[in-house]
Structure 1
Amino acid sequence: MNSSGTSTRVLWLQVWGLAAVQGTIALTWVIYNLYLLKLLTQFGFPAGLATGLLILENILAAVMEPLMGGLSDQFQHWVGSRFPFISVGVILASALFIAIPAFVVFGSATAALRWVLPILMVSWALAMTVFRSPALSLLGRYAFASNLPQAASILTLVGGLAGAMGPLANQFILSLGPVVTFSVGSLVMLGSATALKFVNPDSSVQQQMPESAPSSKPKSSWRQISLPRLGYVFAAGVGVALGFRLMMQTFPRILSTQVPDANKGLILGGIFIALALTAIPAGNLATRLGNRQAMSYGLFAMAGLMLLMMLTHNGVIAFGVAIALGATFSLVSNGTIPFALSMVPMDKAGLGTGIYFSGGAVASSVFGALFSQPESLTPTAGALIGAMAFLAGGLFVAASSKLKQPVFEAH
């Protein structure tokens, strides 16, 4: 990571700034998911509304992610910056994130007003889609194409550490109370976006990496958009997200039935810790192998590990499987944004990133609709379907290399 050849090809300071934003996104979703059911039931709503809200949020995100990414591409074309979208989205999301617990504390639980709470929750989820794709698409401006997985490994490292807070620190987060927790999340969100803007005004990026970054007013390339290539990006997003969701639902159930004395929080947290710790070595490996090849290998290996989960019968094996899952998934996580960026022209980076996240949102909404109740899917069925999802995702990534390249390759 610190070699002179690599350092000239990656803007590490900007990458770390973007990683802070990625970590904040992961952390705020951890907080939201931990408190969602508690806040709704506290306000008199049925527990089932939580699932309904998540499904609705994902359906809306499936549309909003590519829309916001595409609009940010137009802003980049017109004014030379995506930061108007990022700034507006972060400010809205931060304000709404604080408003959620504030309404619970100071609002009214009367029938007429209590529906403000779920409206605030859905509004916050939509605000998050305003800036996620525009922000993460900036990765393509911070590194040359061959070094994108290495740059993305920093995002995986920080995101993995933030994700580990869910299984490892959930009781501590809940003990702080919603007002303190949501306030911290909101302030961290604002701080990370401010830091990213401070370390990387667009003009300085273009001065430092003229070969990698597009000019401030690139020619529009809508005619170079390939629907089959976007389809592969979308399908990969579906496969990765569905496989991961099934993994995180199935593994705890396997532990509960086959290793009842195991520390589930520690084992599940081990997945995210391993993901974070192996991110940089996985990024180096992907740089040598090529991103598509490394990502495909990772997805195929994840399919095998999903089946191996069913053979878990003691705590040592369970922890070993968790470490293997996290280490292997780092190859996948590092590769997702570089893969999406490689499938679109350079001035459509926001659209490509948004299409990938749209696929993930569709997978999450389908998952929520079909498998919201743990008993609706046996551990064996969950492991098999998850393995097939990862396998399909790997096949889509591998097959994408056969498509005709656009007139000019992205990034």
Structure 2
Amino acid sequence: MEATISKQGEQDEIQWKQLWSLAALYGSVVIGWIAYQRYQPKLLVQFEFTDFTFLLIAVQGIILTITPMIAGRIGDRYRFERGNRLPIISAGISFAAMIFMAVAFTLLGNPGEIFKWILPVLIVLWLMAMSIFTSPALSTIESFMPVEKLPRAMAILTIVGNLLYALEPVIVDIIDFLGAPATFITGGVVVFVSGYALKKNAAASLLKSDNKDAVANKIDSQPSQYGFILLMGIALGVATSCLFNVFPSIMDAKLADVLKGNNGGIISVGILIISALLSLPFSTLVTNYGLMRSFWISFILVLLSLAGILFLQSPLAVLLMTAIFAIGFTALSVSSLPLAIGKANYYQKVFCVGVFFAGVEGVEAIMDIFQGL
């Protein structure tokens, strides 16, 4: 009896070691994206590939939209056929680390006219590698805690991601100091080490969660709500894309009397910091209020605040709408992925996480394409 109670108690607790390993891997992905966004334009200029900029943007958008779903489908297949989704995560991480290193050594070798064409190929492969493991890795979050505590886990990931993006100017300065080759070598090492830590710490939990016998005996008649899951990803994608791509220029224009100089980006950084600070308290509110209601309320707040920021002219009104956006963005970040996981059939969990991130990345891809026209 005591053993049963103890076992049940373990199932009701968050497995913090595994969660922090996942957060570290997520952090390495964020840093990798910051490095990519910093050096991709520079490398295109350095190696005279500027004519291919729009093509690369389009290819990037296609890869980031489609690959998460493909990786999710493969991840689910590994869950059932091999009893573990870790192989697809490990393969993606190893591939990404290898591409990091390949780019670094290509740059160190100062490639000539022929070998410089390796660089755009490596960039495309790197995008694929990062997409291959991100969705399956983040799908593991539901294996480390009971469903009702997923918002708290998402709060941890939100804090890590938002603080790193808020520190982007500092990270960029470090990247510039290191230089491209050292940056890509460091990125490869960081991704590999954080991936290894997740594999080591999460292996037992995932084997238990993905056990073939347990899966075979589990009945889940709930159909996956693909359309709604995609909508949730699009909702988060709209909020995130506007925060990073639209806010700085709008704030420069509408808050010129408040912000001296071109400092609209400060608002985006402030929202990220506020969101990080609010994430844990909001995770409790989301849990108590319910994921579905929290998602719809936060989505409506984001849409209304975005409309206010775009169309209102008063600096005070714009700042008020920005504060409302920060609240809605935080609640959306904490509630959307847990709700997406909850709306997925047990046998399609990883694929549905891929559908979610396809929605997130699809919005970003469309916005990048329009900006590149």
What TM-score comes out, normalization by structure 1 length?
A: 0.79
Pairing 1:219–2:216 present: yes
**Equivalent residue for 1:41?**
45
Query: Structure 2: which 5+ runs fail to align?
Result: 1-8
Alignment of 1:288-327 (within 5 A): 288-310=288-310, 311=312, 324-327=324-327
* Counterparts in 2 of 1:259 and 1:10: CA distance versus 1, 3 Å: same
1:14 has 2:18 as partner: yes
For residue 367 of structure 2, what is the amino acid of its counterpart?
F
Aligned to 1:393: none
Q: Is the 8 A contact 1:73 1:351 kept in 2?
A: yes
Q: Shift of the alpha carbon at 1:50?
A: 3.4
Question: 1:247·1:306 contact (CA, 8 Å) conserved in 2?
Answer: no
Amino acid paired to 2:109: F
Question: What CA distance in whole angstroms lies between the structure 1 residues aligned with 2:26 and 2:72?
Answer: 16
The DSSP-based 3-state class of the residue aligned with 1:115 is: helix
Which residue matches 2:124?
122
Show the counterpart of 1:339: 339
Task: Identify the match of residue 231 of structure 1 among 223, 227, 232.
Answer: 227
- Cα distance in structure 1, aligned partners of 2:219 and 2:197: 32
Residues 132-156 of structure 1 show CA distances to partners (whole Å, capped at 9, x for unaligned) of 1111111111121211111111111
Alignment check: 8 A CA contact 1:59 1:361 kept? no
CA distance in 1, matches of 2:71, 2:219: 16
Is 2:47 the counterpart of 1:59? no
Tell me the SS of whatever aligns to 2:216. Answer: coil
Between 1:261-270 and 1:290-299, the stretch displaced more is: 261-270
Cα pair distance change 1:58/1:222, threshold 3 Å: farther
Cα 1:277–1:125 change in 2 (3 A) is same
Q: Secondary structure at the match of 2:14?
A: coil
CA-atom RMSD in angstroms = 2.8
Counterpart in the other structure of 1:370: 370
Contact 1:35/1:174 (<8 A) preserved: no
CA deviations on 1:317-366 (whole Å, 9 max, x unpaired) are 87776565344312111223212211212232111101111222322332
Alpha-carbon distance, 1:200 to partner:
1.8
What secondary structure is seen at the aligned counterpart in 1 of 2:116? coil
Q: Does 1:253 align with 2:249?
A: yes
> Which of the numbers 88, 93, 108 marks the counterpart of 2:111?
108
Separation in 2, partners of 1:204, 1:69: 15
The code of the aligned residue for 2:270 comes to: G
Q: What is the CA-CA distance between 1:190 and the residue it aligns to? A: 1.2
Superposition deviation, residue 221 in structure 1: 8.5
The question of whether the paired residues in 2 share the 8 Å contact of 1:146 and 1:290 is answered with: no
Structure 1: runs of 5+ lacking an equivalent: 207-212, 374-411
- Taking structure 2 as the reference length, the TM-score comes to 0.86
> Which runs of structure 2 are paired with 1:129-168 in the superposition (5 Å)?
129-167=131-169
Residues 93 and 287 (structure 1 numbering): CA distance in 2 closer, same or farther, change over 3 Å? same
Amino acid at match of 2:231: A
Q: Name the CA distance, whole Å, in 2 between partners of 1:38 and 1:186.
A: 19
Deviations 1:172-219 (A, max 9, x none): 43233112222222221112111112222235873xxxxxx4644312
Instruction: Note if contact 1:57-1:125 (Cα within 8 Å) is conserved in structure 2.
Output: yes
Distance (whole Å) between structure 1 residues aligned to residue 219 and residue 136 of structure 2: 17
Greater Cα shift, 243-252 or 352-361: 243-252
SS in 2 for 1:44: coil
- 1:283 counterpart residue number: 283
Matched residue count: 360
- Provide the identity percentage: 26
The 3 A distance-change label for structure 1 pair 265 and 177 is farther
Q: Which amino acid aligns with 1:135?
A: A
Superimposed CA distance per residue, residues 6-56 of structure 1 (whole angstroms, 9 cap, x where no aligned partner):
99332222111111111111111111011110111011121x633432321
Q: State the one-letter code of the partner of 2:143.
A: R
Post-superposition shift, 1:223?
9.3
